[in-house]
Structure 1
């Protein structure tokens, strides 16, 4: 079945409903919600995508997430993706949003953050491996070629926020 998304403009205003594959092939903007997961010690969850993934197979990422469904807010999409990918039910907190040039196509990326206090149950179709890394260890991994390029841009923007602007939930 085709995945429908809202095509949006450079101000993130809805223009209409389109197939996500068409949005990507045409370079039309759409919405993607991502989640950064931290543990109670402040470490970041980092995962490797499965080798058979359609996008960025075998590459590392520090964000989970995906396209927002039609009529779904960024926050709703982030909570849904967190549940689908890690089996965690929580309300991620909005951190930042930016127009991401994207390696595959451009899109609006909304980054959220959540502190995970329960065990995670990764969906093997989304997460092949995961671990919790300190910020310096994550920063080192982000610079490696095997890291999802769009996630590198998001990390740089996240890191540049002052600590007072991104307190843990």
Structure 2
């Protein structure tokens, strides 16, 4: 079974499940679904940044400051955050990511409910999943913000929106 065949919950604008469909159909028809974003940090507080592989169904070869992905049918956000973080970082025994806030992303690529989490990788050595991650590095947050500001890297638009909201959340403003 390929990624396009994975069955997802289809949700409404209130994040209530209204049905199920294969991922390929969800994307083709622009149906709302669920996604998790996990900001991963190392022991020094640096952020895991990566370039997605060219084979990704959405935003191929773009940079992202989150690991994560879509929720499978019947999966809850917390379980998906841990599963996706461990898969993409190539680790096991990761602490459960801390849930921060949820928002409805609507923009390039479609629309999905997005739950933002954060996790510390502790002393775990990451071995990113080759099918998901083409390049990676741990960047200090000021360098990450500089890379975003200078526009030299093509970023995933949903990740940029999640990161903007995360900054506002940390500053005590927006709650997603």
Normalised TM-score (structure 2): 0.87
Could you give the per-residue CA deviations for residues 140-169 of structure 1, whole angstroms, max 9, x where no partner exists? Answer: 22242511111111110001123679xxxx
Partner SS, residue 159 of structure 1: helix
Q: 2:142 aligns with which of 136, 145, 150?
A: 136
Runs of 5+ unmatched residues, structure 2: none
Q: For residues 52 and 27 of structure 1, what CA distance do their matches in structure 2 show?
A: 20
Per-residue Cα deviation, 1:9-57 (whole angstroms, up to 9, x for no partner): 1110111111122122222110011211011221111001123333222
What is the aligned partner in structure 2 of residue 59 from structure 1? 62
Distance change (3 Å), C-alpha of 1:102 and 1:20? farther
Aligned residue-pair number: 165
Contact 1:60 1:146 in 2 (8 A): yes
In 2, are the aligned partners of 1:25 and 1:105 still within 8 Å (CA)? no
Q: Deviations over 1:93-135 (max 9, x none)?
A: 1111100013111110111110011110111111111111111
Q: CA RMSD in A?
A: 1.7
**Which stretch of structure 1 is more off in the superposition, 111-120 or 52-61?**
52-61
1:43 aligns with 2:46: yes
Structure 2 counterpart of 1:161: 169
Task: Give secondary structure in 2 for the equivalent of 1:141.
Answer: helix
- Give the TM-score of the pair, scaled to structure 1: 0.90
Q: Does 1:120 align with 2:126?
A: yes
1-structure distance, mates of 2:172, 2:156: 27
Q: In 2, distance between residues paired with 1:5 and 1:63?
A: 21
